[in-house]
Structure 1
Amino acid sequence: MVDSTNFFTQLNGGSSQILGLSSGLNTQEIVQALVAARRQPAVQLESKVTANEARLEAYSELTGLITDFKASLDGLRGEVGFFADSIFDNKVAFTQSRPTTTAPGGHVASQADSILGVSVTDKAEPGVHTVEVVSLARSHQIRTDAVADRSASLASQGIAIGTFDVNGQTINVDGDDSLLDLRDKINASGSGVRATVVSASPTQNFLVLNAEETGVINTIDLAGGTGTSDSLGLTDTGAIKNELKAATDATIRVNNLGVDVTRSSNTFDDVIEGVTIDLFRAEQNTEIEIEIENDLGTVKESIISFVDAYNALKDFVDDQRKEIVRTEGGEAEYGPLAFDTTLRSMMTQVDQLVGRIIPGQPTGAQTIGQIGIELNDNYRLEIDDDTLDNQLLTNFQNIRGLFEFNFESNDSRVTLAGFNGQVAGQVDASGNPIPYYLNVGPTDASGNLTSANIQTTAGAGAGGGADGTTTVNGQQVTALDTTGANGLRVFYDGGASMPGVDNIEVTVTRGFADQLFYVLDRYVNEQGGGTISENTQNIVRQNDNYNRRIGDIESRVELFRARTVARFAAMEQAVLTANNLSESLSSAFESANSD
């Protein structure tokens, strides 16, 4: 008879397994097959989770590419509101030196950058200027008489104690003050003068006073002197006694105007608008030519960045759609976003814009292809350097119009405050821009608008009454979706308690970079939103749901496995019992026959 102890099942890592020794069946494989069949819904969900994780990873990469793409377009799309800059406004300055027309023969001009330095802002206008540096501004410098001991009290060395003024600040010389103490008091006085002790020898020590600012206007003023300042040797009966360096103003001659331009500083920032000139040294008979140009290099670099970003996005899309067969005869595999409708929709809009004609642009600068940015046979953008460089040199403003958002008003009181991607410009039948017409009501005592409206034709909306075409907040007017100006925000600085104004022309054109920026912005924006973010959140929620369902299935499968093991164990026990009974009967029968 077979012993049934530990015969039917055993423990393996906490799970029961059936040995199947009684029935002769591979009951363990049978149980595993039954459990695997029950677990198939979880396997299918796990495949979906894996596919979703691949989509999340691909979306993350796509988000980075779109963010880079938008960054490359941001400078090209122009001034988009208060404090916003356009790279098309950037300027650069070049300098070169040459002898003046009155210079003696043989005069050799020094290098321009050893005489002056130039910096420019976007307010500078392109053009050529000449500057001759006649003299530099210098700071005033005076000294005391020699003092034998810098550390001993001045009184013990015969200096009269008392007070004296430095640029209106009273300095007290006490009985125990040394020359070093006097230095510290002057430096702490806020007089605009720096004091330094200079020791020519151990017994010859001077207190040197130096004005912190250059120019005659900053001459050190000792207010006529006192007995103490006379005793120190700073003054002599009211006048400066020991002047080391007189204060002087800087003088330059600009554009041969025939007048000297004088400033107290060696920095001239108010002579040519947007241009700062820093003087290093004077050189008679030498003039510096300053040429101010549009910063074509920065514009081209931005265009190159845009082309690179577009091509990187196209590479990503192609990688997603590329067919991969991993095993011979196997099914083709694609990237996780190969058939993604969001990606397909975005790229359709992007590719349409790449070849679009921009309304209002003159012939020869209506598409990016006309300025040297063309699609090659692989549908990647390429730059023809010769064409683009020539266009930048000869057609700069038209290239600017091709790329950027442009806002113009015939009233200087109206300025751009901002806009969104829904704003559309108006064009006539020939494609030329035509204005919207802003009508504003009276302003209140604080200068805030009481009402405003915006129209597509002149004469409508007279009086500036509210008609649902705008909202007004203080001095800002925002166009609503009743016109194509939807989302345009303008600032009106009309003054306090002023009457309304009708038919202010506001013209908007939207260039290629601006339009493309807002296409991409719908998918990825600075606030962390956009269609791709929404898709990502949906996928995360979907995976959370899948994982919960997988957990539920796993729990039910474990219960099923335990019940199945128990049933097969009972079967094995029954077979064993029957086998044992059969053996007992056979033994009894054989015994009976042998008797």
Structure 2
Amino acid sequence: MASISSLGIGSGLDLSGLLDDLESAEQEKLTPIVSQQQSYKTKLSAFGTLESSLTALRDAATKLSDPETFTAVTSSMTGDAVTASTTGDAVAGRYQVEVSQLAQAESMASKAFDSKSDDLGISGTLTLSVGDGASVDIDYAEGDSLEDIRDAINAADAGATAAIVNDGNGYRLTLTSDATGTDSTMSLSGDTAAFGDTATPGFSTTVDAQDAKLTVNGISITSQSNTVEEALQGVTFNLTSTTESAETLTVSKDTESMTEAVEAFVKAYNSFQSTADNLTSYDSESDTAGTLLGNSTMRSIESRLRSVLSYSDSEGAFSMLSDLGIERQLDGTLEIDDDKLSDAITNDSDAVSQFFSGADGESGLVASIDDTMGSILDDGGLLQTATDGIDTTLSSLDDRYTRMQESIDATVARYRTQFASLDSLVSQMNSTSDYLTQQFDALSA
């Protein structure tokens, strides 16, 4: 008998539609697995959000243990002749600065030549040294131009730079020390005569090397450079011109940046608290719960952070966060008493620093927070344990899904085979019925 290529054609029954309905019913077996997968993926995402907020809190706390956070200073300078930059070592105060001379590099120049690129027709060796540096020989030969000699000097890396200047009468080869100050005076010897005229053979000095000279609160200071470091502890002066009158440098504690560091920590903690509240919330009206409501890992994290905020330093001037004006509120967030914090930072920033980082710079509240965060965020911590467990469960659910899908596919295939047999059988019976009907009709006729 010929096979039936489409269900229902032979029998006239809607076997294809019935098979689709049965397949849809079988697919419903996957729904609980998919729901579980989605639930665990949502938890995994929630732990990722939680990890981000905890990492931000850890970073903000670490900033409070930075030695420069509570030793930061700010500075201002009157006038335009001098600028100043400071480090945490700078001592607060007012300083009078006067500049009588800027440091400059020595320069030399040859006589004027008619061309910079034509053969000069001279040969010899120039011996150049700068300051206490070793002497360097620069050879030049007939056929070399002024440009060739310039390039040879620059390639020698002797501590001076050669250039060509057109003074209107011709091209002059110039040499300039790479560094300023009298310690970088140039010495040029050898076959130099050809670079001068009869009256003044060799190179002539066009700019004398000189040191910078300034006074700070009346104390004379000499510097090889216009960048003057450590003339004043923690201060670097950059000299741009001489002064007509004294300019004033004012150095003071940078209480603003100190306050901002504390505020950033409080903000980061409150952000974590907000994240935790959202993940563990419950809305009775809509009967919806946060993703991590009742989760043991979430409860443990919240408990550990509440505990670490109760840190107490019995040796310092400030023993608790509340002494700095940072109070825990009923909703779990932190709130700052601006006046109290400002008073603490302004009058005893060292003690504030000790509370956060300890007398040794490696203990204090920040160290306690870091230890707690390590138990949560580091390898083997609470979050990794929780997420590894979720990953294992998701892998198991994937296997279950695959096995169930294979079972459904096998069941639907069995139905299809059975329906095909049914379709053929009904088709055969219909053919037999039609044949018998025809025979009976023939007999009646």
After TM superposition, the score normalised by the length of structure 2 is 0.82
One of 58, 69, 85 as aligned partner of 1:88: 69
CA gap 1:34/1:229 in 2 versus in 1, 3 angstroms: closer
In the alignment, is the contact (CA less than 8 A) between 2:192 and 2:203 conserved in 1?
Answer: no
Which of 270, 273, 286 is the aligned partner of 1:311?
Answer: 270
Q: Which amino acid aligns with 1:170?
A: D
Show the 5 A alignment for 1:20-99. 35=26, 40=29, 42-78=30-66, 86-88=67-69, 90-97=71-78
Matched ranges for 1:48-447 at <5 A: 48-78=36-66, 86-88=67-69, 90-97=71-78, 111=79, 114-155=80-121, 161-167=123-129, 168-201=135-168, 203-223=169-189, 228-233=191-196, 242-257=204-219, 260-291=220-251, 293-324=252-283, 332-362=287-317, 365-376=318-329, 378-407=331-360
Give the secondary structure class of the aligned counterpart of 2:192.
Answer: helix
* CA displacement at 1:136 relative to structure 2: 1.2
Letter in 2 for 1:303: V
Change (3 A) 1:163 1:542: same
Q: Which amino acid in 1 is paired with 2:305?
A: V
Aligned residue for 1:513? 366
| Structure 2 letter corresponding to 1:278 | N
- Tell me the residue number matched to 1:431: none
Give the structure, 1 or 2, with the largest relative contact order (CA under 8 Å, sep 6 or more).
2
**Counterpart of 2:376 in 1: which secondary structure?**
coil
CA distance in 1, matches of 2:26, 2:203: 109
SS in 2 for 1:45: helix
Distance in 2 separating the partners of 1:278 and 1:377: 53
Structure 1 pair 550–175 and aligned structure 2 pair: CA distance change class (3 A): closer
Structure 1's 18 and 46: CA in aligned 2 closer, same or farther, altered over 3 A?
A: farther
| 1:499-520 residue CA offsets vs partner (Å, 9 max, x unmatched) | xxxxxxxxx7x32232123212
Q: 1:580 to 1:218 in 2, by over 3 A?
A: closer
The Cα shift of 1:550 comes to: 2.3
Structure with greater helix share of residues: 2
Matches within 5 A, 1:442-453: none
TM-score (norm 1): 0.63
C-alpha contact (below 8 Å) 1:93/1:118 kept by paired residues: no
Displacement of 1:34 after TM fit? 7.4
In the alignment, residue 306 of structure 1 is paired with which amino acid? F
SS at match of 2:64: coil
Offset from partner CA, 1:550-591 (integer Å, 9 cap, x none): 222233344445556777888999999999999999xx9xxx
Q: Cα 1:54–1:232, aligned 2, differ >3 Å: closer, same or farther? A: same
Contact 1:88 1:294 survives alignment (8 Å): no
Of 545, 565, 572, which aligns to 2:396? Answer: 545
Equivalent-residue separation in structure 2 for 1:576 and 1:183 (angstroms) = 105
Q: Is the 8 A contact 1:73 1:306 kept in 2?
A: yes
Matched position secondary structure for 1:206: strand
Superposed, which structure 2 residues align to 1:455-494 within 5 Å? Answer: none
The answer (yes or no) to whether the contact 2:70–2:353 under 8 Å persists in 1 is: no
Provide the aligned C-alpha RMSD in A.
4.1
- 1:522 corresponds to: 375
Give the aligned residue type for 1:553: M
Q: How far has the Cα of 1:294 moved from its partner? A: 4.0
Contact 1:317-1:338 within 8 A present in 2 as well? no
Deviations 1:518-550 (A, max 9, x none): 21222213xx65321222122112111112122
**C-alpha distance in 2, partners of 1:173/1:579?**
115
Give the gaps of 5 or more residues in structure 2: 130-134
Aligned 8 A contact 1:150 1:179 in 2:
yes
Mapped contact 1:133–1:287 kept (Cα < 8 A): no
Determine helix, strand or coil for the equivalent of 1:88. Answer: coil
Residue identity matched to 1:229: T
Post-superposition CA distance 1:448-503 (Å, at most 9, x none)? xxxxxxxxxxxxxxxxxxxxxxxxxxxxxxxxxxxxxxxxxxxxxxxxxxxxxxxx
| Shift in Å, 1:51 | 0.6
Note the C-alpha offset of 1:248. 0.8
Report the Cα distance in structure 1 between the residues aligned to 2:96 and 2:102, rounded to whole angstroms: 17
Look up the equivalent residue of 1:520 and give its one-letter code.
M
Amino acid at match of 1:43: T
Cα deviation code 1:333-364 (max 9, x no counterpart): 212212211111111121233344333232xx
CA distance in 2 between partners of 1:584 and 1:186 (Å): 116
Aligned residue pair count: 436
Amino acid at match of 1:185: A
Q: Deviations over 1:201-220 (max 9, x none)?
A: 2x422222211111112112
Measure how far apart 1:179 and its partner are.
Answer: 2.5
- Percentage identity across paired residues of the two chains: 23
Separation in 2 of the partners of 1:176 and 1:261? 49
- Residue by residue over 1:419-466, the C-alpha shift from the partner in whole angstroms, topping out at 9 and shown as x without a partner, is xxxxxxxxxxxxxxxxxxxxxxxxxxxxxxxxxxxxxxxxxxxxxxxx
